[in-house]
Amino acid sequence: MIAVSINSRLQHNKAIQTYARMLAQFLDRDELTGWLGRNSSFERNKQAIKSGVFKMHVRLLHEKPWSSHTRQTNRVCDNYLVYAQHWDIRNYYQVVALISPEAHKTVDKFLPAIIDIVESEFQVLNEQELKALLHVTA
């Protein structure tokens, strides 16, 4: 079972909570809501790849969702939901950022801090500590 937690800095953000639930449904059951788009790694940043950091294009919740007929690879916009997969216990993920607006233009500025947060606050956790996090499941 997939478990998605939210970084402590974002836990009280209702929009992030909604995206975390949608992400858990996508990762666990491949259910794609109209607000989730293309999912990929940060291909041009080796440290982000090494740290298990991913981005998913997302429509903002007040925006019109993508049509169910729009292929996931074609669902692109300028907002990223940034999350990480645990290096050892692969079914644990954590949402660490929502970059909006101008995600394409600003992500390189934020990525070093995001990687630091992922490495120091998520990747260092053992299984007991991961289980103790508040998380959502599909």
pLDDT tens string 86-120: 999 999 999 999 999 999 999 999 999 999 999 99
Mean pLDDT of the chain: 97
**pLDDT of amino acid 137:** 83
What would the mean pLDDT of 111-137 be, rounded to a whole number?
A: 97
* Phi, psi values for residue 96, rounded to 5°: -120, -15
Give residue 12's region: left, alpha or beta (phi > 0; psi -120 to 50). alpha
Give residue 137's region: left, alpha or beta (phi > 0; psi -120 to 50). beta
Report pTM: 0.96
| DSSP 8-state symbol, 75 | -
Q: The tokens 């070093």 sit on which residue?
A: 112
